[in-house]
Amino acid sequence: MAKLQLKNLNKTYSPKVVPVKDISLDVSEGEFLTLLGPSGCGKSTTLRLIAGLEQPTRGEIRIGDRDVTYLRPGDRDIAMVFQSYALYPHMTVYENMASSLKLRKKISNSEIERLVTEVAASLGLTELIDRKPGKLSGGQRQRVALGRALVRQPEVFLLDEPLSNLDALLREKVRAELKQLFSSQKAPVVYVTHDQTEAMTLSTKVAVLNSGNVQQLDPPHLIYTRPANQFVAGFVGSPQMNLLVLKCQGNFAQLGDFRVRLPDMPTVPPEIVLGIRPEHVGFADAEAGKMSAPEAIKGEVFLVENLGMQNLVSVRVKGVDSVTVRALLPNDRHWNSEIVELVFGPQLLHWFDVKTGDRLQ
Ligand code: ADP
Ligand code: MG
């Protein structure tokens, strides 16, 4: 199996529309790379460039030792799964899956039958093999689209938001199936989604994209524990990370009455962004000893949202106007508009440059 490489890939539609800006990535055998980012950040365009459905303005795409940048889609040995499934409505499940194989010259009918039957069985499609797409549910159609990609045994798999047309329950189920399915595939996978849960659960590597640029390329756990900048910190994690602008003085950063020690840094800037995830915030009384009271954030509870497993509690920080900190807390307690002290482990704080947004530790 061959490695997929993108080298300084760029796609310009017009001076103002540059959906892909200098993207360089490697996806090796057995790797599952997810392109994660908000709508319009260039995920689908990047995938379409790899598939050959668009031509890059600059840059190179390699599969193993082949330069495929200007090859026709059919000559790249890539299989792509689209959000819309793109099945042939007049063909049965079997014919849809076999269709991509019939384009190949050197394959016998019995070999096609063997491959389709085998993949159909692994996807639980055996019973549905003679049905047409119109008689299938959304989840079943998605499985046929996957099956069509799998029977080809391509050098590279591309999947563009394959779960977004499924309802929440089914999405969770098919996500787990996808994970199992691709864990036994050797070919590199590039998966596109705006859904952070899909990115975190499925990937061996995640590339977070914003405005056509890769913001961070790392395994999922590092994307979460060491976000490279404020964009990644704010985009990954739900509920969203608290991001507060603090004034620096000596070795401390301050917001109203709240004072916290700065990490070691060569020069202390006048202001700094402090990031704290809601799941890392606790209450002083419940979490005694986590951090001394002067380093707690004092504030008034003004909103409690019951998320089922936990409460998301919003607190207005005392001594400053309209700054809110949100904490994810056990839902065994009833909240009024009371004054509370929020505490957190100092090792769980994130620090970012106010101007560039870059991580500072
Ligand atoms: P994503 O998949 O991340 O939502 P896309 O890659 O589809 O984003 O689109 C990125 C940007 O490129 C968008 O602003 C979109 O409008 C623009 N774009 C995509 N395709 C074309 C095209 N064929 N012509 C002009 N602009 C396009
Ligand atoms: Mg898209």
**Residue range 4-230, CATH number:** 3.40.50.300
The pLDDT of residue 346? 83
Mean pLDDT estimate for the chain? 92
**Looking at residue 252, what is its pLDDT?**
94
Tell me the best of 10, 13, 47, 84 to mutate to test the pocket of ligand 1, counting ligand atoms within 8 Å of each CB and taking the most.
Answer: 13
| Mean pLDDT of the region 297-318 | 92
pLDDT for position 293: 57
Alpha carbon nearest to ligand 1 atom 6, residue = 42
What pLDDT score does 97 carry?
Answer: 95
Give the number of other Cβ atoms within 10 Å of residue 168's Cβ: 8
Q: What confidence category does residue 107 fall into, taking pLDDT thresholds of 50, 70 and 90? A: confident
Write the pLDDT tens digit of every residue in 77-106.
Answer: 999 999 888 899 999 999 999 998 877 768
* Domain residue ranges in the chain: 4-230, 242-352
Q: Domain 242-352 is in which class?
A: mainly beta
Task: Specify the residue with its C-alpha closest to ligand 1, atom 27.
Answer: 13
Cα-to-centroid distance, 211 and ligand 1 (Å): 10
pLDDT of the residue at 294: 62
| Other CB atoms within 10 Å distance of the CB of residue 99 | 16
Q: pLDDT per residue over 221-239, tens digit each?
A: 999 999 999 999 999 999 9
Q: Which atom of ligand 1 is nearest to the CA of 212?
A: 10
Task: Give the per-residue pLDDT at 198.
Answer: 96
Which of 44-53, 107-116, 281-290, 334-343 has the highest average model confidence (pLDDT)?
44-53
50 — pLDDT class (breaks 50, 70, 90): very high
pLDDT at 292 over 50: no
What average pLDDT score do residues 47-62 get? 97
CA distance 125 to 102: 20
List pLDDT tens digits, range 143-187. 999 999 999 999 999 999 999 888 888 899 889 989 998 998 999
Average pLDDT over residues 123-149: 93
